[in-house]
Structure 1
Amino acid sequence: MSHILIVEDETIIRSALRRLLERNQYEVSEAGSVQEAQERFSIPSFDLIVSDLRLPGAPGTELIKLAEGTPVLIMTSYASLRSAVDSMKMGAVDYIAKPFDHDEMLQTVARILHDRQQVASMPAESSRSAAPAAGATSDDSVNGELGIIGRCGPMQDLFGKIRKVAPTDSNVLIQGESGTGKELVARALHNLSRRAKAPMISVNCAAIPETLIESELFGHEKGAFTGASAGRAGLVEAADGGTLFLDEIGELPLEAQARLLRVLQEGEIRRVGSTQSQKVDVRLVAATHRDLKTLAKNGQFREDLYYRLHVIALKLPPLRERGADVLEIAKAFLARQNERMGNDGLHFSREAEQAVRQYSWPGNVRELENAIERAAILSESEEISVELLGIDIELDPLDEDFDESGVPLGSAVSNEPTEDLSLEDYFQHFVLEHQDHMTETELARKLGISRKCLWERRQRLGIPRRKSATAG
């Protein structure tokens, strides 16, 4: 069981984070400051340290050198997100912005711990890690190299392209529906490139407020705007020598697109408020679920930037088109839950396996992972039933055999979504009715979901944010 140290001076946040991690089978210790952590614990003995950036006394970045190689995940608010760039330069393994989504925190922690296990096992070529990364596999040499499960034809084609493209410095555009694992593809491109030892900086363009996006990406000089009390480097600068991954690049404002185009054309950036340019060496990998070509024709995306990005385009198929991969990914996620919970006996019932194969999974890999995590936690026996998966599907007779693609022999399986339409209708009507007088935060709270989930559902259902709405 992995041992995690939380260093956070806000008792409420520290306690909530501890409960979240302990529910997911991590051993957790906590401290309110760097000094308390030093006095109470041997800091290098932990598997991961999660620390707030701003702490009484010494800042959270002090833990990076005290950790002696143990990864440090920095938590920071949007107001101090620029400081996270400096944290990355000082050696933090990653940062996460407050308020964070629980799933985002768990996925980040799992990825960092998995990467640490892989590094630890490399010198001795020891046995493979028991906790695969999201969509990862350990029993196929090609997939294992890339860290992604995929035996179907479209995924094997994608693997071949990744291996050809990764060693180059060409810009790459990854296209695919939300939740298909586009960041996994970006990480595979980075890990197989000559830049693998340099940082890969991931940015969700839709998650950063529009008023902050330019200073976050390109940095700013002291006095560039109200509140800019000191100059700060941007995320592009933090990725110097490595890879910059821009997720949902279709949401990037036109002004920021113009600055990004300069990075690609000239290999240089100019901080907000500065007259001086500086050289940067970054490889850009972008991802989107939107049709950038159509957006460019409609004037919503710069056409010259589109062609710069579209040097290499990789298409990630939705889960419903990946045949038998679905069940293999589901079993990998269940193996991860078994490892977290210290229980190797959890398994799917025959009906549950059939449901996993037949359901269309409109939320793709992310929806599948969440369904299995929920089922594993709620299961009162070692067999996970179809009811625990929480999906609405009418199963075919169980005596049918399935082909290697997971399709029942002798019958046609509909690929139509089987969501509860009344719930989606309720969501759509509620958002349209209230978004003029509610912030995004208020809408999410009323719906009982995170802001990230609200954004993803907007994208899936095609509900744009009103321009006049107050930013949440």
Structure 2
Amino acid sequence: MPHILIVEDETIIRSALRRLLERNQYEVSEAGSVQEAQERFNVPGFDLIVSDLRLPGAPGTELIRLGQGTPVLIMTSYASLRSAVDSMKMGAVDYIAKPFDHDEMLQAVARILRERESRGNAPRESQDERNDKPSTASTGEIGIIGACDSMQSLFSKIRKVAPTDSTVLIQGESGTGKELVARALHNLSRRAKAPMISVNCAAIPESLIESELFGHEKGAFTGASAGRAGLVEAADGGTLFLDEIGELPLEAQARLLRVLQEGEIRRVGSVQSQKVDVRLIAATHRDLKTLARQNQFREDLYYRLNVIALMLPPLRERGQDILEIASSFLLRQGKRMERSDLRFTQEAEQAIRHYSWPGNVRELENAIERAAILCEGPDICAELLGIDVELDDYDDESFDDDRLAAGRAGNASHEPTEDLSLEDYFQHFVLEHQDHMTETELARKLGISRKCLWERRQRLGIPRKRSGVAG
């Protein structure tokens, strides 16, 4: 069982994070400062350290040195996001912005531990041995499961594109793994040892996004008490990944176009430009060409981004990959729970293969985690997956919209029609209150993060109000 050290001075956050990790079968120790961690524990003995950046006494980045190679995940607020990027240059494996979604934290922890395990288990081999490997083996190098024709074609393009500095636009539905493709492009490039800075354009408030991306000078706006570099500048020499670039405001798009055309940035409030060497990778689930026709996205920026376009197929179009991905998720969950006997029944495999998975890989992972936790024996049956599609219907190739909606809701098909599912409730609440509540207020009332609110809007097709109340 992986052993994780949490270093956080706020007791409420520390306790909540501990409960979250322990519920997911991690062994957890905690400390309120770097000094307490040193005094109580053998810091290099942990599998992962999750630390706040700002701590009493020494900062969380001090644990990078004390950990002696143990991966350190830095937590920080958006207000100090630039400092978190600096911590990555010092050796932190990644950062996560507060307030974070539980799924977001668990995914980051699982990914870091998985990468640590794969590095530890990788046998040493000569260059000749690496060159002699068949091409299919490099799928592991890319880090994405995929044997179907569309994924093999994608892997081939990744290998060709990665060594270049060309801008890449990754397209695909939400949950298909666009960030995994971006990481593969970065890891196989000449910039692999430099930072890869990931930014979700929809998760940063519109009023802050230009300052976050391009930095600002002292006095540029109210509250700008000191100058600060932006995330584009922080990615100098490395890769900048802009997820959901279709949500980028038009003003920020104009500044980004300058980065691509001239290779330079200008901080908010500054009259001077400075050169940056950044490789840009963008991702979106939206049709940018259509948005450009509707004047919601700059057409000149679209053509600059669309140098190399990579399309990720939805999970429902990946054939037998679905079962292989499901099996890998089950194996990982079994390791977390120290249960090597977990297996799918034939009906469960049938359900996995035929369900449409509107939430794609992310939905599949969550369904398997839920099933593994709820199962009482080694066999995971179809009912535990919570996708609520009748097995008798699988032979029928047509699925009506009502059944897909029921599958999306998780348990709506077994409830009376007058009762609201969780997603029905979410949709009704947002539509009723978004005209007089900000995005922050909506998220707080629903008990979720702004990022989670945005992701659910996208999944349910609820457009965000851009006029009226500011987010």
Corresponding residue SS for 2:151: helix
| 1:392–1:419 CA contact under 8 A, matched in 2 | no
The alignment partner of 2:371 has SS state of: helix
1: CA distance, partners of 2:341 / 2:276: 50
TM-score of the pair, normalised by structure 1: 0.90
* Superposed CA offset, 1:160-209 (max 9, x none): 11111111111000000101110011111111111111111111000011
Percent of aligned pairs with the same amino acid: 82
Helix, strand or coil: the match of 1:232? coil
Give, in whole Å, the separation in 2 of the partners of 1:290 and 1:344. Answer: 40
1:71 aligned onto 2:56: no
Structure 1 range deviating more: 264-273 or 418-427: 418-427
| Alignment equivalent of 1:418, drawn from 404, 414, 427 | 404
**Secondary structure of 1:51 counterpart:** strand
Deviation at residue 74 of structure 1 after TM alignment: 1.0
2:99–2:449 CA contact under 8 A, matched in 1: no
Counterpart residue number, 2:107: 107
Alignment gaps of 5+ in structure 2: 126-134, 410-419
Asked if the contact 1:320/1:415 (under 8 Å) is kept, the reply is: no
AA partner of residue 101 (structure 2): D
Gaps of 5+ in 1: 126-138, 398-406
Measured in 2, the distance between the counterparts of 1:66 and 1:450 equals: 32
Corresponding residue number in structure 2 for 1:199: 195
1:378 and 1:339 map into 2 onto residues whose CA distance is 16
SS at structure 2 position matched to 1:220: coil
Alignment-derived partner of residue 60 in structure 1 = 60
Over 3 Å counting, the alpha-carbon distance change for 1:310 and 1:64 in structure 2 is same
Q: Which amino acid aligns with 2:351?
A: A
CA–CA distance in 2 between the matches of 1:100 and 1:42? 28
Distance 1:37 1:425, change over 3 A: closer
Distance in 1 (alpha carbons) for counterparts of 2:226 and 2:92: 21
2:308 counterpart residue number? 312
Distance 1:446 1:226, change over 3 A: closer
Distance 2:96 2:468 in 1: 26
The residue number in structure 2 matching 1:301 is 297
The residue that corresponds to 2:16 in the other structure is: 16
Aligned to 1:251: 247
Q: Aligned in 2, Cα 1:216/1:448: closer, same or farther, shift over 3 Å?
A: closer
1:28 — aligned with what?
28
Please state if 1:292 is matched with 2:298: no
Q: CA deviation at 1:348?
A: 1.0
Q: Which structure is higher in helix share?
A: 2
- The alpha-carbon deviation at position 306 of structure 1 amounts to 0.4
Matching residue's letter, 2:67: A
Cα deviation, 1:234-279, whole Å, max 9, x if unaligned, reads: 1111211111110000000111111111111111112222222221
SS for the counterpart of 1:95 is strand
The aligned counterpart of 1:360 is: 356
Distance (Å, rounded) in 2 between the aligned partners of 1:185 and 1:124: 25
**Shift of the alpha carbon at 1:371?**
0.7
Other-structure match for 1:385: 381
TM-score (norm 2): 0.90
2:232 is aligned, of 229, 236, 241, to: 236
Q: Which amino acid aligns with 1:196?
A: A
Which residue type is aligned with residue 330 of structure 1?
A
What is the distance in 1 between the residues matched to 2:279 and 2:70? 27
1:450–1:386 Cα change, 3 Å: farther
Moved more, 98-107 or 266-275: 266-275
| Structure 1 residue corresponding to 2:257, chosen from 241, 254, 261 | 261
Q: Which amino acid aligns with 1:180?
A: T
Shifted more, 428-437 versus 211-220: the winner is: 428-437
DSSP 3-state at the match of 1:15: helix
Q: Secondary structure at the match of 1:370?
A: helix
**Amino acid in structure 2 at the alignment position of 1:11:** T
Counterpart-to-counterpart distance in 2, 1:170 and 1:124: 32
Q: CA deviation at 1:373?
A: 0.7
